[in-house]
Structure 1
Amino acid sequence: MALPAHAAMPLHARIQRAIRQLIVDGALGPGKPLPASRALATSLGVSRDTIEAAYGQLHAEGFIDRRVGSGSFVAEMTAFTPGRRQSPRDPQRRNQPPKLSRRGAAMFGGGGVRERLTPRPFAPGVPETRTFPLALWERLERQVRKEVGAQTLLHGDPQGIAPLRRAIADYVNLERGARATADRVLVLTSSQQALSLCANMLLDPGDGIFIEDPVYYGARRAFDAAGLECLHIPVDGQGLVVEPILAEPRRAKAVFLTPSHQFPTGATLALERRLALIEWAARHQAWIIEDDYDSEFHYAGKPTACVQGLDPHDRTLYIGTFTKSLFPGLRIGYLVLPPQLVGPMTVARTLQDGHTAPMAQWTLARFMEGGHFGAHVRSMRGVYADRLDLLESLVRRHLADFVEPRVPAGGLQMSCRLTGGLPERAAIEAAARAGIDLLGLSALHADGRGEAGFLMGFAAYTPYEIELAVRKLATALQAMRPT
């Protein structure tokens, strides 16, 4: 009754809940008499009406029987009879692992994909949000409420509202060289949802999928959870090495790529390799799953066109997201699909979350139609390029004894190879104690024993925060050196 979480509840409800829990735990067994309402009221220092209200609710819920002239008794409920059922509060029962399905065990065992609610340097993949034009966004939201009205409060189209799908198709055609139309766009809540849909709709448990090595951890976990066999293909300076795929073309029914900016190496997939994979997919009726997660931010020349735009056979599924280009809380991603997959994929997403929030979709559509999205991306591209230059110079100045930076042509993070003989795990733990987040590189490899190093995100952090964090990191790593 004294739990802080119950402090806001009426007194009779707290008493009712306390007695109910005693019954559920077996402390009050079936048939056991409860104190008379007058006696319990005196004992607890409350009014008799309060006890009567608690007993009345317990009786209505079936936990107790009330007999005129005899009093109140715990109901004869077999499910709570001691000896037939262990109490839910039994420590032995509570500590037993749950019996999950194979798919559920794979999801749980993989650890999911979790992001920090409040990122700190150098958490990767986080955009700058503090300078986002919120006033403009709020103005567009007000316009939507005024013009679209109550329609934004209802269920939305599972495929996404038409204005946003048109805006997305126009954007990827113009900026990414895609071959998209509004009717081929499926609006989702995230790229992670897109990966899960692809894994479950295109392949069966046990089927093979070629994936990059190293690879984005969220993709591997989505494919593992779907029961797929991940076949790891090495990455070099020109992206995914295609020879192993062409040597055994039937080992897998799909390939997962981050061709524009490979995660985490930053390599760009060479044109001849793109064309080879397109031909492989067409010849063997396989699928190409292309994740174009941060191609908006390219700092050295214009980014290469996406694979989907080069594929005349409609075997490529193109994944995009606004998490990196705008802000994570927006929760909007998308798939550009081959025409024959639009229907199946749209039906499948109705079994997951139904639809993406209409208000956010309408506001984003206005934001894109008004040219604000392009302007924001151009502005952030300049900001991020400056922050990358600063991070590189600071790393070379303060961390030269420990790491070798590998400056990317784009993206929101820079990879660094450990060169000072420090163990990767120990370095990351030392950084964490200093208030710095680093993502290790070795765990992104199939065997977990890849090149030692870490990723340093820079986009979300001001120049002052970057310099302060680099100095803290230098101090933390210096302290690890033997004296």
Structure 2
Amino acid sequence: MFKSSQLETVKAWLVNPANAAFPLHVRIQRAIKQLILDGVLTSGKPLPATRALAKSLAVSRDTVETAYGQLHAEGFIERRVGSGSFVSAMAQRSSGRRVKRSIPLENHETALSQRGLAMFRGGGIRNFPAPRPFVQGVPETRNFPLPVWERLERQVLKEYGHLALQAGPPQGMEALRCAVADYINLERGARATPERILILTSSQQAIALCAQVLLDAGDRIFIEDPAYHGARKAFEAAGLECVPIPVDQQGLQVDALRHSPTPARVVFLSPSHQFPTGATLTLDRRLALVEWAAQQKAWIIEDDYDSEFHYAGKPTACVQGMDHYDRTLYVGTFTKSLFPGVRIGYMLLPEVLVEPMTRARTLLDGHSAPIPQLTLARFIEAGHFGAHVRSMRLIYAGRLNLLVQLIEKHLSDYVTPALPDGGMQIPCKLVCDVSEQAVIDGARRAGIDLFGLTGLYAAAKPQAGFLLGFAAYTPMELEAAVKSLARVFRDLLR
């Protein structure tokens, strides 16, 4: 018979709400199997007779018989006519507890490859399923026209039927590639054709793909300083040496790039709205950058992550549209202009890189899901995307203005904001005698998430402060959060 503790374990499996979807015999079978795997029931240990266990569990004998039958079929128990059921020797050899006793646990140094260790130490990219103020880069989703999206998705399913459930082409659905090419040609001044668009899951995937395809481990890449943390982590995880190039109010200092003592043949930058400073790369520097890439046979990775949200006139045309040498890889995403769950980004590639990048993409995740691609294509073609962006641009501009007023009213003794022309966050520099980390920790305890600026700098002298994201939060939420942050400062400065 089972010991009382073992019987209680099986009973716990029966009443656990998490197991409610499983039939009774499956719950009993899995409970006993877990006891065997954990080494609680050892090799040769007799199991209770089916009648006795059924009585103890208040279930039918057939239920226990079915559970035993499955355990026998999987090799966990032996059934001997006239003797009963016993834990098999084969099952004991796979006991998790014995494995843990005989093999010491590995640490991160020995368990991972150098690339895996770099990715682990880099900390990944923090995700916010339910963002709290002031998480940066998160769009407002409560205003998204869900009925329109649902109607278009039904149209896709009706037209394509079971074909929409199959794997899509690795380069992306043609309808979406056409829609994206038309959109960025019109709105961003790009020189795009559908044949040169590669649909991906995100701009982060595009950056990681560039790191693996364009460069080898040990190679150098120029990167803005300060820079987008997700890009630097992706490059470092690929074994690249990131060479920081300073940024000023006119964007990346191209002269510093051209005269760098450590040359590189790829540069990553966000020229339309630099992250995190908000600077826009001036026209003369854009042209100089294009000429540098042509002369050095180098590549430009242009991250255009939030150009839809520009509040002071139209945004500057993208670098790719000025590059007649075809040395620019243009990266865009819909996770900020629409909603994070759409998981659709894209790259506009030089013709020579289309096939290599597409083949490399097949080794990562194969393809993007066809149904959201086809739905998004219709969303763009019918004008819904443009209308949504215009609507959100007005909302975000209002929230930006309000946040600036709230900072001036409640936080002016503690921070100085750098007012952006666009984007979804405000960089704020600390001007009081308190550490950046102390503010971040105190804010977290108060239910607020801040993104520190110091960690975004490599060689340049870091400016202590943080980013205040405003796009995803209503005026009431912004006001309450600013007042809470003001209390955090007051408490720290007492």
TM-score bucket of the superposed structures, by smaller chain: over 0.9
Instruction: Name the CA distance, whole Å, in 2 between partners of 1:415 and 1:398.
Output: 16
Q: CA shift at 1:30, angstroms? A: 2.8
2:411 aligned partner, one-letter code: L
Instruction: Name the CA distance, whole Å, in 2 between partners of 1:249 and 1:344.
Output: 31
Coordinate RMSD, CA, aligned: 2.2
1:13–1:54: 8 Å Cα contact kept in structure 2? yes
Segments of 5+ residues of structure 2 without an aligned counterpart are 1-9
Higher alpha-carbon deviation: 11-20 or 164-173: 11-20
1:214–1:263: 8 Å Cα contact kept in structure 2? yes
Confirm or deny that 1:305 pairs with 2:317. yes
2:189 aligned partner, one-letter code: G
2:292 to 255, 276, 280: 280
1:330-369 residue pairs with structure 2 within 5 A?
330-369=342-381
Q: CA shift at 1:89, angstroms? A: 6.3
Instruction: Name the CA distance, whole Å, in 2 between partners of 1:444 and 1:354.
Output: 32
2:337–2:389: 8 Å Cα contact kept in structure 1? yes
Q: Secondary structure at the match of 2:86?
A: strand
- Normalized against structure 1, the TM-score is what? 0.94
Q: CA shift at 1:32, angstroms? A: 3.4
2:426 to 414, 419, 425: 414
2:401 maps to 389
Instruction: Name the CA distance, whole Å, in 2 between partners of 1:78 and 1:284.
Output: 63
1:327 maps to 339
1:153 maps to 165
Number of residue pairs the alignment of both structures matches: 480
Higher alpha-carbon deviation: 14-23 or 124-133: 14-23
2:5 maps to none
Q: Secondary structure at the match of 1:266?
A: coil
2:416 aligned partner, one-letter code: E
Q: Secondary structure at the match of 2:387?
A: helix
- Normalized against structure 2, the TM-score is what? 0.92
Q: Secondary structure at the match of 1:281?
A: helix
2:26 maps to 13
Deviations 1:326-361 (A, max 9, x none): 111111110000111111111122222222121111
2:483 aligned partner, one-letter code: R
1:18 aligned partner, one-letter code: A
Q: CA shift at 1:369, angstroms? A: 0.9
Confirm or deny that 1:231 pairs with 2:240. no
Q: In 2 relative to 1, CA 345–20 (structure 1 residues): closer, same or farther, beyond 3 Å? A: same
Higher alpha-carbon deviation: 187-196 or 384-393: 384-393
2:426 aligned partner, one-letter code: M
Q: Secondary structure at the match of 1:87?
A: helix
Instruction: Name the CA distance, whole Å, in 1 between partners of 2:101 and 2:23.
Output: 29
Q: Secondary structure at the match of 2:141?
A: coil
Q: In 2 relative to 1, CA 95–87 (structure 1 residues): closer, same or farther, beyond 3 Å? A: farther
Q: CA shift at 1:23, angstroms? A: 2.0
Instruction: Name the CA distance, whole Å, in 2 between partners of 1:394 and 1:102.
Output: 46
Deviations 1:99-118 (A, max 9, x none): 12222222222121122111
Segments of 5+ residues of structure 1 without an aligned counterpart are none
Q: CA shift at 1:294, angstroms? A: 0.4
Confirm or deny that 1:164 pairs with 2:187. no
2:7 maps to none
Q: CA shift at 1:91, angstroms? A: 12
Q: CA shift at 1:75, angstroms? A: 2.1
2:452 maps to 440
1:50 aligned partner, one-letter code: T
Q: CA shift at 1:407, angstroms? A: 0.2
Confirm or deny that 1:99 pairs with 2:138. no
Q: In 2 relative to 1, CA 319–112 (structure 1 residues): closer, same or farther, beyond 3 Å? A: same
1:80-95 residue pairs with structure 2 within 5 A?
80=93, 87=98
2:133–2:481: 8 Å Cα contact kept in structure 1? yes
1:72 to 74, 85, 88: 85
Instruction: Name the CA distance, whole Å, in 2 between partners of 1:10 and 1:279.
Output: 69
Deviations 1:348-390 (A, max 9, x none): 2222222212111111111111122122212222221121111
Q: In 2 relative to 1, CA 86–156 (structure 1 residues): closer, same or farther, beyond 3 Å? A: same
1:252 maps to 264
Confirm or deny that 1:263 pairs with 2:263. no
> Matched residues, percent identical?
64
Q: CA shift at 1:72, angstroms? A: 2.4
2:463 aligned partner, one-letter code: E
1:30–1:81: 8 Å Cα contact kept in structure 2? no
1:130 to 142, 145, 154: 142
Q: Secondary structure at the match of 1:469?
A: helix
Q: CA shift at 1:455, angstroms? A: 0.6
Q: Secondary structure at the match of 1:404?
A: strand
1:25–1:88: 8 Å Cα contact kept in structure 2? no
Higher alpha-carbon deviation: 446-455 or 98-107: 446-455
Q: In 2 relative to 1, CA 10–150 (structure 1 residues): closer, same or farther, beyond 3 Å? A: closer
2:230 to 212, 215, 218: 218
Confirm or deny that 1:472 pairs with 2:484. yes
Q: CA shift at 1:78, angstroms? A: 8.0
2:36 maps to 23
1:272 aligned partner, one-letter code: D
Q: Secondary structure at the match of 2:426?
A: strand
Q: In 2 relative to 1, CA 76–88 (structure 1 residues): closer, same or farther, beyond 3 Å? A: closer
2:192 maps to 180
Instruction: Name the CA distance, whole Å, in 2 between partners of 1:255 and 1:63.
Output: 58
